[in-house]
Structure 1
């Protein structure tokens, strides 16, 4: 295997990176080779140590290089490397993980379908609901309500449910999806109070249902906190109110907890414990295995499972690697580590310190808003805080701040004029304080250059 940075980059010329400006990656110095990782740190191919401020991609919750996790995956591969959960086959790891996830999930969510990504989990949720409604004699009930600013994946259907900005220049299954107003109060609230903005959002939901017809809508899908749309929390009480409207109109509520589950907000699942409602479906991935293996879960209610498991037809949905033994073993071990070490409980303290530290950056002139919760935070940069005027796209403020952070030993994710932080959940207080110091220095440096 190549070890020299230049040799690795030469090989990398054949790799198509995800969500990247492929032309810009041709420029010298545009790519960083991450060659190893341990705990909360990653190291590039030149040996530079950096805090993993994005947790790989929202997912390395227990930290990198956990030997217990690695041993569990290795032992599983030695025992059963692969077998499908197709037809009448199952295996111990998938069965045990399904039971454990059902135990952790709230309320009546007791049946689990495993996939290998958040996109697949969300596609699977819609396919199941379409099948559910066909079996109930309502084949026309197939539209999906999503929101501007949402991110639900990059497969054909999941991309349609994602905010339209992510599909510019691409096709998606747009005829199945209607996008509601963005829940971003700071940007969209105008002169309204937060309570008034909440009412406006609910009015938009109700008006959309009336216009489309509840008889044509199968689901409303929402992230508890919008992630790749810029880390946007909805007004307080929004999710419970939206769930009540959906319930009154026979519309299933899908909580996309691909990012928020498994400790990022201080609980294994956020829907009930943080937001006060039990959805009909929860989708999750990322933190389910802390990124050690690709695995997702679509967790459905007893009502949905009862209908799709009736004897009058087949469940014609599946993936080759659904419930892969090594991935299932990783999920079980990940949960065991998080329970034993009390990681979600710890996040309620350390995550709050992280959140509060970052909110203190609002005293820097170009910082317009710091938002999110616990270890899921976004910092938006503006040209004028009073008018909320954004910098033009070609200013690349988020990218400049991210590069300034990396130079100081912190990886952060740029998203236009927003910087996203979603670090590992194992950080201690000195490391949290160090991140604040790096961010302050990096933002101040970039601000001076603007």
Structure 2
């Protein structure tokens, strides 16, 4: 929110009233005077009044290589001149084919089949539809139930939103309830008093097994999980949880879908976190965001060779996967993805992200000493600083309003936050330096202290 906005900014804010934003309160449509972002450079954004800020959330977890990368701009412009579109139904084009090959080489295990989508939601939707398709092909039409987790976020299409477990966001929205089942949040900070983290991990793994057994393994198609629950507030399950859940899925013949829309492309220091960080080779994997660093919309679903082989072995008849999008493998988006990967390689971004991550963790964890901070969670270059004004008397609305105030103060001092409920989420561009991390955390600390003092 801007104060004393210029006439130019006020004019844009007036026009913006026709833009129905995601998650907007429709009873207040047209009343918000949003900050207008005009430019981006590196880890910084500048609003329409010239205020320069660190982009704390990195757009929406996605501007991994930073703003203003001329390499991507040039690649996109050249591709538009050569070929602005092709139909993925009947022909192909070089950018999509080359990107698919490069991605398959980077993906864990035998995830050699890349199904391009328009973003993360459609990648997740496609994964779930493929799970149903797979079981139909294998003659198991009843094996259609999906297990997800409270606190998870998987998208905004009807099917992917049904699997999301952010409960406030389900209010007044219809969801699939008969075939989607949520098991408890694996947040260790919410474990019962006196319970060890190891025992909590056992309990959360048992939640998955118990749900599979309750529904019947012959009825459960898939378990979908983010390695780190991103929009749930950077929830980091206990060590070993992801791997043990994968083993359970293998045991009961349940497909394991890793939702890496956020955690892929360097956010946790690897191209994909499932194998490199958590030791898991999933049956399917979804990604988006960092795939183009937000320069153009593009998502991808990776499908295991094993699944395709099993479908083929089930019979000799053709089995088309009747799913796809007009913009699947869009050549301009694919060109952005290729240029994005080139930057990762030329700049050594994975090494850089791993080198600054410990400093990011250390500086954010220092905020745990503030009275208003009740939990700090950090994984790679993902951070969540959760606030509570009174842990003995929880009040979600009060704490959410407090964090909105922190956001306003931080913007005034050069930092854009992303409040998620009562948690300030940080996922800056991977190009961030240690000095810039210091600048970012110092502004956040000042915002927390100033907002608390103003109470």
TM range (shorter): over 0.9
In structure 2, the partner of 1:8 is 12
Deviation of 1:136 after TM superposition, in Å, equals 0.4
User: If the length of structure 2 is used for normalisation, what is the TM-score?
Assistant: 0.95
Instruction: Report the secondary structure of 1:51's partner residue.
Output: strand
Question: Of the candidates 115, 118, 124, which is equivalent to residue 117 of structure 2?
Answer: 115
Deviation of 1:295 after TM superposition, in Å, equals 0.2
Deviation of 1:26 after TM superposition, in Å, equals 3.8
- Confirm or deny that 1:190 pairs with 2:205: no
CA displacement, residues 123-171 of structure 1 (integer Å, 9 cap, x when unaligned): 0001111111100010111110000000000110011000133211100
The answer to which of 316-325 and 174-183 deviates more is 174-183
Q: Superposition pairs for residues 301-312 of structure 1, below 5 Å?
A: 301-307=304-310, 311-312=317-318
| 2:18–2:30 CA contact under 8 A, matched in 1 | no
Q: Superposition pairs for residues 361-376 of structure 1, below 5 Å?
A: 361-376=367-382
In structure 1, the partner of 2:438 is 433
Listed as ranges, the gaps of 5+ residues in structure 2 are: 1-6
In structure 1, the partner of 2:411 is 406
In structure 1, the partner of 2:278 is 275
| 2:376–2:385 CA contact under 8 A, matched in 1 | yes
| 2:17–2:29 CA contact under 8 A, matched in 1 | no
Question: Of the candidates 439, 442, 446, which is equivalent to residue 447 of structure 2?
Answer: 442
Q: Superposition pairs for residues 39-438 of structure 1, below 5 Å?
A: 39-86=42-89, 88-163=90-165, 164-307=167-310, 311-384=317-390, 387=392, 389-395=393-399, 396-438=401-443
Deviation of 1:269 after TM superposition, in Å, equals 0.3
User: If the length of structure 1 is used for normalisation, what is the TM-score?
Assistant: 0.96
Deviation of 1:306 after TM superposition, in Å, equals 2.8
Count of residue pairs the alignment pairs up: 445
Instruction: Report the secondary structure of 1:398's partner residue.
Output: helix
| 2:233–2:384 CA contact under 8 A, matched in 1 | yes
| 2:99–2:334 CA contact under 8 A, matched in 1 | yes
Instruction: Write the distance in 1 (CA, Å) between the matches of 2:181 and 2:396.
Output: 28
Instruction: Write the distance in 2 (CA, Å) between the matches of 1:153 and 1:382.
Output: 27
Instruction: Report the secondary structure of 2:384's partner residue.
Output: strand
| 2:16–2:30 CA contact under 8 A, matched in 1 | no
Instruction: Write the distance in 1 (CA, Å) between the matches of 2:435 and 2:95.
Output: 38
Deviation of 1:305 after TM superposition, in Å, equals 2.5
Instruction: Report the secondary structure of 2:40's partner residue.
Output: strand
Instruction: Write the distance in 2 (CA, Å) between the matches of 1:131 and 1:145.
Output: 17
| Structure 1 residues 84 and 345: alpha-carbon distance in aligned structure 2, compared to 1, 3 A threshold | same
| Structure 1 residues 52 and 308: alpha-carbon distance in aligned structure 2, compared to 1, 3 A threshold | farther
Deviation of 1:21 after TM superposition, in Å, equals 3.0
Deviation of 1:308 after TM superposition, in Å, equals 5.1
Instruction: Write the distance in 1 (CA, Å) between the matches of 2:311 and 2:337.
Output: 25
Listed as ranges, the gaps of 5+ residues in structure 1 are: none
In structure 1, the partner of 2:4 is none
Instruction: Write the distance in 2 (CA, Å) between the matches of 1:121 and 1:210.
Output: 28
Instruction: Write the distance in 2 (CA, Å) between the matches of 1:355 and 1:412.
Output: 17
Q: Once superposed, what is the RMSD of the aligned Cα atoms?
A: 1.6
Instruction: Write the distance in 1 (CA, Å) between the matches of 2:95 and 2:310.
Output: 26
Deviation of 1:394 after TM superposition, in Å, equals 3.9
Instruction: Write the distance in 2 (CA, Å) between the matches of 1:445 and 1:32.
Output: 21
Instruction: Report the secondary structure of 1:186's partner residue.
Output: helix
CA displacement, residues 200-257 of structure 1 (integer Å, 9 cap, x when unaligned): 1111111111110011111000001001111101011000000000100000100100
Instruction: Report the secondary structure of 1:370's partner residue.
Output: strand
| 1:142–1:217 CA contact under 8 A, matched in 2 | yes
Instruction: Write the distance in 2 (CA, Å) between the matches of 1:174 and 1:44.
Output: 42
CA displacement, residues 328-369 of structure 1 (integer Å, 9 cap, x when unaligned): 011111011101211111111112211210011111011000
Instruction: Write the distance in 2 (CA, Å) between the matches of 1:19 and 1:267.
Output: 31
| 1:111–1:305 CA contact under 8 A, matched in 2 | no
Instruction: Report the secondary structure of 1:72's partner residue.
Output: helix
Instruction: Write the distance in 2 (CA, Å) between the matches of 1:179 and 1:296.
Output: 25
Instruction: Write the distance in 2 (CA, Å) between the matches of 1:448 and 1:151.
Output: 33
Instruction: Write the distance in 2 (CA, Å) between the matches of 1:32 and 1:21.
Output: 17
Instruction: Report the secondary structure of 1:400's partner residue.
Output: helix
| 1:381–1:390 CA contact under 8 A, matched in 2 | no
| 1:264–1:425 CA contact under 8 A, matched in 2 | yes
